[in-house]
Structure 1
Amino acid sequence: MECFKVLIAGILVFYSLFANAQLFSPSDKRATTETRELFYSMQRLLGTGVMFGHHDDTAYGVGWRFDPNRSDVKSVTGSYPALYGWDLAKIEHDSTKDINGIPFKLQKQLVKDAYERGGINTYCWHMDNPANGKTAWDTTQHTVKDLILGGAYHDVYVSWLDKAAAYIADLKGSQGEAIPILFRPFHELTGNWFWWCKNTSTPDEFKTLWQFTVDYLRKNKKLHNLLIVYSVADFDSEEQFLERYPGDDYADFIGFDNYCTKSVPYYQAKLDKRLTILDAIAARHHKLACLPETGYEQIPMADWWTKVLLPTLSKHKVSYVMAWRNGRTDHYYAPYPGQASADDFIKFYSSQQIMFQNRLTPLGVYGRPNLSK
């Protein structure tokens, strides 16, 4: 009976939104049917519930690793998250495992599982530095200018794109269709800790690299299942946010990563200010606003979810929010059973202002019915 109620409520919410303002199309004019339908669905759902995501959710958690059908989020709430975050890092070296030790074969299956249950998959890429093979956190040289056309390491970069493209091209659903992916390259680009950040390139160099990357994946590798996420780190104005923006033809979502690392009031105030700026930019550029990474490490505040995150998100037009991974017993961003904020997380999950997999599945966001959970 409960599943039936969720299904009916979801259908009523979803189809009541068809009369909303005109929808805008993906930046890729040749986007696949499922990709277009997902983008339209996420626009229709804007304001009906912020989709909650969790990085590497079904791969591992606190005290477990690679257990079938397991998720810390599901163990606490009874539902998987609506959105699942993954990383392409190490695919550039033909590694069998990603940067967090997940076998790519397993990762691929978990992506398919999430898609088949009606969930949404997003990828970042902590790509190693193509100029010297060091990690993504190597900022010892101005790498970006060497990767664009004519640069000393352009061919290396292209060969790495080829490897990622081959992997993405093999992410297919049960009917052989390409699984839509929210692709988030060069994330936190306004920081100073990655080789692609603002301290290692000019705005024009960065925009050129971004545009080349997206064009290459679309035109050369024929990947039309990507919705592009432009995600920054620090900013305090529209001008700062848009300084390195590659243009409306190269992004579908705009957002920023924002962690609770100082005081809770500081985090909440900063998050509110930045989301206010983002609301205006998203409306003007016809993009969907999102919060691709956030969280409070170890979540020491028992009511953080409903007293800090939820009321702040609820004031703005946010498509989705994603908590970072549950990597270790001292490094996690979603609660597990018995964790201090678990009870509050259940209240967060139960709010009509937040959407987990149980509410998303009945909506068939890819343009096809999906009743599995």
Structure 2
Amino acid sequence: MKKIFGRVLSLLTGVALGCTILTTVPAPVQAAYSLPVNVEAEACSLGNGATVATNVYGTEYPGYSGDGFVWASNSGTITLEVTVPTNAMYELSTRCWMYLGNQGDSRLQVVSINGVPQGNFYIPNKGGWMDYSFGFFYLEAGTTKIEIGSSGSWGFILYDKISFDYADMPDLNIEPTLCDPKATLETKSLMKYLTSVYGNHVISGQQEIYGSGNDGDYELEFNYIYDKTGKYPAIRGFDLMNYNPLYGWEDGTTERMIQWVKEKGGIATACWHINVPADFTSYKLGDKLDWTKCTYKPTSSFNTANCLDKTTKEYAYLMLAIDEMAKQLLILQDAKVPVLLRPFHEAEGNNNTDGSGAWFWWGSAGSDVYKELWKLLYTTLTEKYGIHNVIWEVNLYTYANSLEWYPGDKYVDIVAYDKYEGSPYTWKTSAASTAFLTLVNDTNDTKMVAMTENDVIPDIQNIVNEGAWWLYFCPWYGDFITSSRYNDPVLLNTIYNSEYVVTLDELPKDIYGSAPSDEVAGDLNSDGNFDAIDFGLLKSYLLLNTPINLTTADVDGNGQVNALDFSYMKQKLLGKIDKFPIE
């Protein structure tokens, strides 16, 4: 992590905070502060419902600094007027104690800047004083009014200190290492490209409609974008939901994915709205059901936790569902088409860890079960089916306990965020930088963060100003892209034609890599064939470091020549395999 704005500015420009303690006798206090600001909460302007205290109804909360803390009841506010020295990103944070409920419970608090709400922040009960960041904000030079506890806050929280400083911005320099060590050459090449643009460009994307919507016109949204901008998105979103064991039917999704990648040169991403029988109790494994009797929402008859128990009907059904998707992924793998796969998406739903806020069945048993469900899917696809053309995307939110839903670095390549107005914030065309930077920090800046679904596309200038370099954006289909209610056509044109936005025509031709057409895998003596002589040359190289053609010797396409390549060559000579992994 690095500071992108010099601390030297704090020596030149102060931050003026107008503070008044509202006690029995108002005592206005004026003071000028240099960055970083770190003030006692009780030194700021307190609105009705916020009072300075040392206990609450006789209960002590030891460990505070200064003469006391600010107790914000159901409507208390803390206000700071700050003189911002320069246009930059800033962070607002506090030392606080949310004391109601059980540990892990949270309460919503609202922050406003210059009278404009910046979002809803769910502060958790940690059983004591904690440091909490309200996030990151792009502020222009001048006087800024910051209010904590604005209208809509649930209150009943204690504030000890308020801090304000330049934001500590991330490097966004991600290694192109996939979580699947056996990833295909094309998948590795795509990952390398994604990491190369991350942090300096945003890739354009668009979700297609599924299930023969738009009267079967899958190109409606894409033609709309081209008509308004003269460009096509680089990423096309698909849904594998219709490949399922219940009402499954061939809607051409897999073939369209192949066409988009192989013929158009684009990038494919896919979600998986996998359904379960609405009445799972009466369902018999293998039965076909009308789609109206299926659901992807939580249903009382389907116990998601049972998916982890091999003896249950839920587990057996999940394996049937995975098998249907695996067949399609294998078709894509054979066609050398990698996919950004986002299964079991939006699992948390509304703020929770026990499944009570879940929108989909796969999140209904809570975060612990969900993480194991994700790992089960990962290991089943990679180990049982040998699927290695997937870049794994997991959805997270930025609630108090959202990180509890993260399966772990070993099973994730990209962190996904789905942004819709009012769910939970009203972002408009802002860069949603607080959400972006929170997710970056949650994974210690080791995973790329993408806006995998959205309605309003952020203004690219806001993204540049705020350093919120989402890997890509991808509006949902229909009105979410075609209605000016969500995306103004003029701004859409500006975004698609920005130097910072990658469109389909700007993707590199070799994004998926390619082996030289005049070389044969395993041909080390350049005679146009692979045979026992080449096998002997590799053995000599491994034992004696005899010079060879390292490009053709790397038959598994992992970028190294070692004993694995020797093993593959031996297997092919013995007829145990028909082709090398790189072929």
Report if TM-score (shorter chain) is over 0.5: yes
**Equivalent in the alignment of 2:398:** 235
How many Å separate the matches in 2 of 1:64 and 1:155?
33
Q: Does 1:212 align with 2:370?
A: no
Q: Does 1:91 align with 2:243?
A: yes
1:35, distance to aligned residue in structure 2 (A): 0.2
The sequence identity of aligned pairs, in percent, is 22
How many Å separate the matches in 2 of 1:82 and 1:44?
15
**Equivalent in the alignment of 2:433:** 272
One-letter amino acid of the counterpart of residue 236, structure 1: Y
- Once the two structures are superposed, what CA deviation does each residue of 1:13-48 show, in whole Å capped at 9, x if it has no partner? xxxxxxx96734100000000001111110011133
Q: Cα RMSD between the aligned structures?
A: 3.2
- Once the two structures are superposed, what CA deviation does each residue of 1:32-66 show, in whole Å capped at 9, x if it has no partner? 00001111110011133211111117998878714
Against the structure 1 CA distance between its residues 340 and 86, is the aligned structure 2 distance closer, same or farther, given a 3 Å change threshold?
A: closer
Determine which of 31, 36, 39 is the counterpart of 2:188.
36
**Matched residue of 2:361: which SS?**
coil
Q: How does 1:312-327 map to 2 (within 5 A)?
A: 312-314=462-464, 315-326=467-478
Q: Does 1:113 align with 2:113?
A: no
**Matched residue of 1:351: which SS?**
coil
Q: Does 1:195 align with 2:361?
A: yes
One-letter amino acid of the counterpart of residue 230, structure 1: V
Against the structure 1 CA distance between its residues 248 and 346, is the aligned structure 2 distance closer, same or farther, given a 3 Å change threshold?
A: same
Determine which of 145, 149, 152 is the counterpart of 2:309.
149
- Once the two structures are superposed, what CA deviation does each residue of 1:292-340 show, in whole Å capped at 9, x if it has no partner? 10114xxxxxxxx5xx5424433213211111012xxxxx222389x98
- Once the two structures are superposed, what CA deviation does each residue of 1:325-363 show, in whole Å capped at 9, x if it has no partner? 12xxxxx222389x9822221111111121111111x35
**Equivalent in the alignment of 1:224:** 388
One-letter amino acid of the counterpart of residue 356, structure 1: T
Q: Does 1:124 align with 2:271?
A: yes
How many Å separate the matches in 2 of 1:264 and 1:49?
25
How many Å separate the matches in 1 of 2:370 and 2:220?
40
**Equivalent in the alignment of 1:329:** none
How many Å separate the matches in 2 of 1:363 and 1:220?
33
- Once the two structures are superposed, what CA deviation does each residue of 1:229-269 show, in whole Å capped at 9, x if it has no partner? 0113x4234xx232021111111000211102479855567
1:152, distance to aligned residue in structure 2 (A): 3.6
**Equivalent in the alignment of 1:17:** none
One-letter amino acid of the counterpart of residue 379, structure 2: D
Against the structure 1 CA distance between its residues 353 and 125, is the aligned structure 2 distance closer, same or farther, given a 3 Å change threshold?
A: same
How many Å separate the matches in 1 of 2:210 and 2:318?
30
Q: Does 1:348 align with 2:495?
A: yes
Question: What TM-score does the superposition give when structure 1 sets the normalisation length?
Answer: 0.76
Determine which of 180, 191, 214 is the counterpart of 2:338.
180
- Once the two structures are superposed, what CA deviation does each residue of 1:145-191 show, in whole Å capped at 9, x if it has no partner? 1111334410111011011101121125xxx5431011101111110
1:72, distance to aligned residue in structure 2 (A): 2.2
1:288, distance to aligned residue in structure 2 (A): 1.0
Contact 1:57 1:71 in 2 (8 A): no
**Matched residue of 2:204: which SS?**
strand
One-letter amino acid of the counterpart of residue 280, structure 1: N
Contact 2:453 2:474 in 1 (8 A): yes
Question: What TM-score does the superposition give when structure 2 sets the normalisation length?
Answer: 0.50
How many Å separate the matches in 2 of 1:67 and 1:317?
28
Structure 1 residues without counterparts, runs of 5 or longer: 1-19, 98-102, 297-304, 327-331
Determine which of 130, 136, 146 is the counterpart of 2:296.
136
1:69, distance to aligned residue in structure 2 (A): 11
How many Å separate the matches in 1 of 2:202 and 2:431?
19
| Max Rg structure | 2
Q: Does 1:80 align with 2:232?
A: yes
Structure 2 residues without counterparts, runs of 5 or longer: 1-171, 281-292, 350-357, 516-583
How many Å separate the matches in 2 of 1:187 and 1:67?
24
**Matched residue of 1:44: which SS?**
helix
One-letter amino acid of the counterpart of residue 438, structure 2: I
Against the structure 1 CA distance between its residues 21 and 235, is the aligned structure 2 distance closer, same or farther, given a 3 Å change threshold?
A: closer
**Equivalent in the alignment of 1:293:** 453
**Equivalent in the alignment of 2:53:** none
**Equivalent in the alignment of 2:482:** 335
How many Å separate the matches in 2 of 1:351 and 1:227?
27
How many Å separate the matches in 2 of 1:125 and 1:262?
21
- Once the two structures are superposed, what CA deviation does each residue of 1:204-247 show, in whole Å capped at 9, x if it has no partner? 21111110111000000110001110113x4234xx23202111
How many Å separate the matches in 1 of 2:362 and 2:446?
26
**Matched residue of 2:454: which SS?**
strand
Contact 1:57 1:72 in 2 (8 A): no
Contact 1:230 1:254 in 2 (8 A): yes
Q: How does 1:29-68 map to 2 (within 5 A)?
A: 29-56=181-208, 65-66=217-218
1:120, distance to aligned residue in structure 2 (A): 0.8
One-letter amino acid of the counterpart of residue 128, structure 1: N
Structure number having the greater helix percentage: 1
Against the structure 1 CA distance between its residues 266 and 351, is the aligned structure 2 distance closer, same or farther, given a 3 Å change threshold?
A: closer
Structure number having the greater strand percentage: 2
Determine which of 384, 405, 413 is the counterpart of 1:252.
413
Contact 1:293 1:322 in 2 (8 A): yes
Contact 1:76 1:335 in 2 (8 A): no
1:278, distance to aligned residue in structure 2 (A): 1.5
**Matched residue of 1:228: which SS?**
strand
**Matched residue of 2:175: which SS?**
coil
**Matched residue of 1:86: which SS?**
strand
**Equivalent in the alignment of 2:284:** none
One-letter amino acid of the counterpart of residue 504, structure 2: Q
Q: Tell which deviates more after alignment, 124-133 or 245-254.
A: 124-133
How many Å separate the matches in 2 of 1:334 and 1:60?
18
